[in-house]
Amino acid sequence: MQQLEKFSALGLSQKTISALVTKGFEEPTPIQAACIPLLLKEEADVVGKAQTGTGKTAAFGLPILEIVDPHVVEVQALILSPTRELAIQVAAEIESLRGDRDIQILPVYGGASIELQIRRLKRGVHVVVGTPGRVLDHLRRGTLRLDSLQFAVLDEADEILNMGFIEDVEAILEETPSDKRMLLFSAT
Protein backbone atom coordinates (compact mmCIF):
# COMPACT_ATOMS: atom_id res chain seq x y z
CA MET A 1 0.00 0.00 0.00
CA GLN A 2 1.26 3.42 -0.86
CA GLN A 3 2.23 5.44 2.17
CA LEU A 4 0.37 8.61 2.93
CA GLU A 5 -1.63 8.49 -0.26
CA LYS A 6 -3.59 11.64 0.52
CA PHE A 7 -0.33 13.57 0.66
CA SER A 8 0.91 11.92 -2.56
CA ALA A 9 -2.33 12.86 -4.29
CA LEU A 10 -1.57 16.53 -3.61
CA GLY A 11 1.49 16.21 -5.86
CA LEU A 12 4.24 15.84 -3.27
CA SER A 13 7.28 13.78 -4.19
CA GLN A 14 8.47 10.56 -2.58
CA LYS A 15 11.30 12.48 -0.90
CA THR A 16 8.78 14.62 0.89
CA ILE A 17 6.55 11.67 1.73
CA SER A 18 9.53 9.98 3.43
CA ALA A 19 10.09 13.10 5.52
CA LEU A 20 6.39 13.12 6.46
CA VAL A 21 6.53 9.46 7.51
CA THR A 22 9.43 10.31 9.82
CA LYS A 23 7.54 13.31 11.11
CA GLY A 24 4.49 11.15 11.82
CA PHE A 25 1.98 13.07 9.69
CA GLU A 26 -0.76 10.80 8.37
CA GLU A 27 -3.06 13.00 6.36
CA PRO A 28 -3.19 16.61 5.25
CA THR A 29 -5.01 19.25 7.27
CA PRO A 30 -7.64 21.29 5.33
CA ILE A 31 -5.27 24.20 4.68
CA GLN A 32 -2.63 21.78 3.40
CA ALA A 33 -5.12 20.07 1.09
CA ALA A 34 -6.13 23.46 -0.29
CA CYS A 35 -2.72 25.11 -0.59
CA ILE A 36 -0.24 22.43 -1.56
CA PRO A 37 -1.65 21.63 -5.05
CA LEU A 38 -2.06 25.33 -5.82
CA LEU A 39 1.50 26.08 -4.88
CA LEU A 40 2.97 23.06 -6.66
CA LYS A 41 1.08 23.21 -9.91
CA GLU A 42 0.12 26.75 -10.62
CA GLU A 43 1.96 29.99 -10.79
CA ALA A 44 -0.60 31.29 -8.34
CA ASP A 45 -0.31 33.70 -5.45
CA VAL A 46 -2.16 32.50 -2.35
CA VAL A 47 -4.05 34.30 0.38
CA GLY A 48 -5.00 31.98 3.25
CA LYS A 49 -6.93 32.46 6.43
CA ALA A 50 -5.40 30.21 9.07
CA GLN A 51 -4.64 30.29 12.76
CA THR A 52 -1.55 28.75 14.31
CA GLY A 53 -2.17 25.05 14.90
CA THR A 54 -3.88 24.43 11.55
CA GLY A 55 -0.74 23.14 9.86
CA LYS A 56 -0.18 26.27 7.80
CA THR A 57 3.61 26.12 8.12
CA ALA A 58 3.69 22.80 6.26
CA ALA A 59 1.05 24.12 3.83
CA PHE A 60 3.58 26.62 2.47
CA GLY A 61 6.75 24.90 3.70
CA LEU A 62 6.29 21.63 1.82
CA PRO A 63 5.79 23.22 -1.64
CA ILE A 64 8.70 25.56 -0.97
CA LEU A 65 10.92 22.58 -0.11
CA GLU A 66 9.79 20.85 -3.33
CA ILE A 67 10.47 23.84 -5.57
CA VAL A 68 13.64 25.35 -4.09
CA ASP A 69 16.69 24.15 -6.03
CA PRO A 70 19.41 23.03 -3.59
CA HIS A 71 22.08 23.49 -6.30
CA VAL A 72 21.29 27.19 -6.58
CA VAL A 73 22.91 28.58 -3.46
CA GLU A 74 20.82 31.74 -3.24
CA VAL A 75 17.90 32.75 -1.04
CA GLN A 76 14.88 31.43 -2.95
CA ALA A 77 12.21 31.75 -0.26
CA LEU A 78 11.68 34.45 2.37
CA ILE A 79 9.15 34.04 5.16
CA LEU A 80 8.41 37.15 7.20
CA SER A 81 7.20 36.59 10.75
CA PRO A 82 5.93 39.17 13.27
CA THR A 83 8.04 37.90 16.21
CA ARG A 84 11.33 36.20 16.76
CA GLU A 85 9.60 33.32 18.57
CA LEU A 86 7.49 32.64 15.53
CA ALA A 87 10.48 32.95 13.18
CA ILE A 88 12.36 30.35 15.24
CA GLN A 89 9.34 28.06 15.36
CA VAL A 90 8.62 28.28 11.62
CA ALA A 91 12.27 27.71 10.73
CA ALA A 92 12.36 24.64 13.00
CA GLU A 93 9.17 23.24 11.50
CA ILE A 94 10.46 23.65 7.92
CA GLU A 95 13.80 22.16 8.98
CA SER A 96 11.93 19.13 10.35
CA LEU A 97 10.17 18.65 6.99
CA ARG A 98 13.35 18.97 4.90
CA GLY A 99 14.24 15.28 5.05
CA ASP A 100 17.54 14.55 3.28
CA ARG A 101 17.35 17.54 0.96
CA ASP A 102 20.41 19.77 1.09
CA ILE A 103 18.40 22.91 1.74
CA GLN A 104 19.70 25.41 4.28
CA ILE A 105 17.11 27.23 6.37
CA LEU A 106 18.07 30.20 8.55
CA PRO A 107 16.02 32.21 11.04
CA VAL A 108 17.13 35.85 11.28
CA TYR A 109 15.78 38.13 13.99
CA GLY A 110 16.78 41.06 16.13
CA GLY A 111 18.28 40.66 19.59
CA ALA A 112 20.62 37.94 18.35
CA SER A 113 24.17 38.25 17.03
CA ILE A 114 24.08 39.72 13.54
CA GLU A 115 27.64 38.50 12.97
CA LEU A 116 26.61 34.86 13.37
CA GLN A 117 23.71 35.41 10.96
CA ILE A 118 26.06 37.05 8.46
CA ARG A 119 28.43 34.08 8.67
CA ARG A 120 25.60 31.64 7.99
CA LEU A 121 24.31 33.77 5.10
CA LYS A 122 27.80 33.84 3.58
CA ARG A 123 28.01 30.05 3.76
CA GLY A 124 24.83 29.80 1.71
CA VAL A 125 21.17 29.75 2.66
CA HIS A 126 18.13 28.78 0.56
CA VAL A 127 15.27 29.72 2.88
CA VAL A 128 15.25 32.70 5.27
CA VAL A 129 12.64 33.06 8.01
CA GLY A 130 12.90 36.48 9.57
CA THR A 131 11.42 39.42 11.37
CA PRO A 132 11.04 42.47 9.11
CA GLY A 133 13.47 44.77 10.98
CA ARG A 134 16.38 42.36 10.91
CA VAL A 135 15.72 41.27 7.33
CA LEU A 136 15.83 44.91 6.26
CA ASP A 137 19.01 45.44 8.26
CA HIS A 138 20.68 42.57 6.35
CA LEU A 139 19.42 43.92 3.02
CA ARG A 140 20.87 47.37 3.78
CA ARG A 141 24.21 45.87 4.82
CA GLY A 142 24.28 43.84 1.63
CA THR A 143 24.54 40.61 3.62
CA LEU A 144 21.24 39.34 2.23
CA ARG A 145 20.28 39.44 -1.44
CA LEU A 146 16.85 38.57 -2.74
CA ASP A 147 17.45 38.70 -6.53
CA SER A 148 16.71 34.98 -6.89
CA LEU A 149 13.65 34.93 -4.68
CA GLN A 150 10.82 32.66 -5.86
CA PHE A 151 8.55 32.87 -2.80
CA ALA A 152 7.74 35.71 -0.40
CA VAL A 153 5.51 34.62 2.47
CA LEU A 154 3.85 36.95 4.97
CA ASP A 155 3.06 34.68 7.88
CA GLU A 156 0.55 36.14 10.36
CA ALA A 157 0.21 39.12 8.06
CA ASP A 158 -2.39 40.71 10.36
CA GLU A 159 0.13 40.71 13.23
CA ILE A 160 2.91 42.02 10.99
CA LEU A 161 0.70 44.98 10.09
CA ASN A 162 -0.59 45.47 13.67
CA MET A 163 2.99 45.70 14.88
CA GLY A 164 3.68 48.56 12.49
CA PHE A 165 5.99 46.70 10.12
CA ILE A 166 4.22 47.80 6.94
CA GLU A 167 6.98 50.17 5.79
CA ASP A 168 9.68 47.61 6.47
CA VAL A 169 7.73 44.97 4.55
CA GLU A 170 7.28 47.33 1.60
CA ALA A 171 10.98 48.17 1.59
CA ILE A 172 11.86 44.45 1.68
CA LEU A 173 9.47 43.55 -1.14
CA GLU A 174 11.00 46.31 -3.29
CA GLU A 175 14.24 44.30 -3.25
CA THR A 176 12.56 41.16 -4.62
CA PRO A 177 11.93 40.14 -8.24
CA SER A 178 8.50 41.10 -9.58
CA ASP A 179 7.84 37.56 -10.81
CA LYS A 180 8.15 35.94 -7.38
CA ARG A 181 5.06 34.36 -5.88
CA MET A 182 3.39 36.08 -2.92
CA LEU A 183 1.78 34.07 -0.14
CA LEU A 184 -0.16 35.79 2.57
CA PHE A 185 -1.50 34.05 5.68
CA SER A 186 -3.60 35.81 8.26
CA ALA A 187 -5.67 34.70 11.25
CA THR A 188 -8.38 37.26 10.50
| Contacting positions for ligand AMP (CB under 6 A) | 25, 28-29, 32, 52-58, 93
Radius of gyration of the chain (CA): 16
Using the minimum distance from each CB to ligand AMP, give the nearer residue, 62 or 172: 62
Instruction: Supply the DSSP symbol for 55.
Output: S
* Shortest distance, position 110 Cβ to ligand AMP, whole Å: 22
* Shortest distance, position 27 Cβ to ligand AMP, whole Å: 6
* Shortest distance, position 173 Cβ to ligand AMP, whole Å: 23
Using the minimum distance from each CB to ligand AMP, give the nearer residue, 4 or 121: 4
Using the minimum distance from each CB to ligand AMP, give the nearer residue, 77 or 144: 77
* Shortest distance, position 83 Cβ to ligand AMP, whole Å: 13
Using the minimum distance from each CB to ligand AMP, give the nearer residue, 63 or 138: 63
Q: Report how far residue 144's alpha carbon sits from residue 150's, in angstroms, rounded to the nearest whole number.
A: 15
94 closest CA partner among 48, 129, 145: 129
Give one DSSP letter per residue of 10-42, joined into a string: TT--HHHHHHHHHHT--S--HHHHHHHHHHHHS
Q: Residue 76 in contact with residue 149, Cβ under 8 Å?
A: yes
* Shortest distance, position 174 Cβ to ligand AMP, whole Å: 28
* Shortest distance, position 86 Cβ to ligand AMP, whole Å: 9
Cα separations in angstroms, 47 against 26, 37, 67, 75, 112: 25, 14, 19, 22, 31
Give one DSSP letter per residue of 97-123, joined into a string: H-TT----EEEE-TTS-HHHHHHHHHH
